[in-house]
Amino acid sequence: MRVRLNKFISECGIASRRKSEEFIKEGRVNINGKTVTDLSFFVDEENDLIKIDGERVKPQKKIYYLLNKPKGFITTTSDEKGRKTVTDLIPSFQKIFPVGRLDYDTTGVLLLTNDGDFTNFITHPSNKIPREYFVTLDKTLDENDKHKLLNGIRLDGRKSKFEKIFVSGQKHDRVKVTTVEGRNHFVKRMFGVLGYRVEKLERILFGQFNVKNMPSGSYRKLSSREIEDFYKTYGK
């Protein structure tokens, strides 16, 4: 089967699709003894000999993990400052990477995988995959501000909004929000524009994945059926 080179590399769990393109541009990829820098190059995954930095690359079985991310872990595969990463929590024999990001102090639903296509699908803005968060604010959420957040405010030079907001707590400072946005720090920045500080943030839903009844720091493998159901739900 012939597939585009960057897709093949990402599906092998080496790196994301974007990072795979960097490897190709840098001349680190060799096909049947020849260096390839063409991003549109196709390979025969069964018959071609593909190497990165001299090491042979072979297709890997796709794996998917659901993690209840605790505080104090960064959402990367490594850290130059030596801080703990989310991949430290999952003893996988295959290289995996997180799907999107959660801040150092943000908890809750985080997916990790070696499937670049799945990562691209679930994070691409056009697919509008819902994310749901529990938010604790530093003060009561004003009703007018709630309507502004639902109707849209300016963020990064464009109109941005939450799809749903539910307010609870004795001080009305406990908020559940739903968004289809995946921009960095989106929830914190949305509230920040209106003068609120997010004191606690937990993602409780990403697509149809949740960590209900999963202790903080625990994880489980997702089944192929769960991944198939996800694609069916969101239209792939």
What CATH number is given for 64-124+214-234 in this structure? 3.30.70.580
Residue 130 identity: P
149 and 186 Cβ atoms separated by less than 8 Å: no
- Is 2-56's fold the same as 64-124+214-234's? no
Question: Is 90 exceeded by the pLDDT of residue 161?
Answer: yes
Pairing of strands 107-113, 97-98: antiparallel
Written as six digits, the tokens of 14 are 């080496």
Residue 103 annotated in active site:
yes
List pLDDT tens digits, range 204-222: 999 999 999 999 999 999 9
Mean of the per-residue pLDDT values for the chain?
A: 92
The DSSP secondary structure of 86-146, one letter per residue, reads GGGGS--SS--EESS---TT-EEEEEEES-HHHHHHHH-GGG---EEEEEEESS---HHHH
List pLDDT tens digits, range 32-91: 999 999 999 999 878 899 999 999 988 778 899 999 999 999 998 888 888 899 999 999
Instruction: Give me the pLDDT at residue 236, please.
Output: 61
List pLDDT tens digits, range 93-114: 888 999 999 999 999 999 999 8
Domain boundaries, the chain: 2-56, 64-124+214-234, 130-206
Reported pTM: 0.78
φ and ψ at residue 8, rounded to 5 degrees:
-60, -45
Residue 150 CA to residue 161 CA, distance in Å, equals 5
Closest CA to 118 of 23, 25, 213, 206: 206
What CATH number is given for 2-56 in this structure? 3.10.290.10
What is the pLDDT confidence band of residue 1, given thresholds at 50, 70 and 90? low
Q: Which CATH architecture has domain 130-206?
A: 2-Layer Sandwich (3.30)
As a whole number of Å, the end-to-end CA separation of the chain is 21
User: Which entry of 48, 53, 79, 103 is annotated as an active-site residue?
Assistant: 103
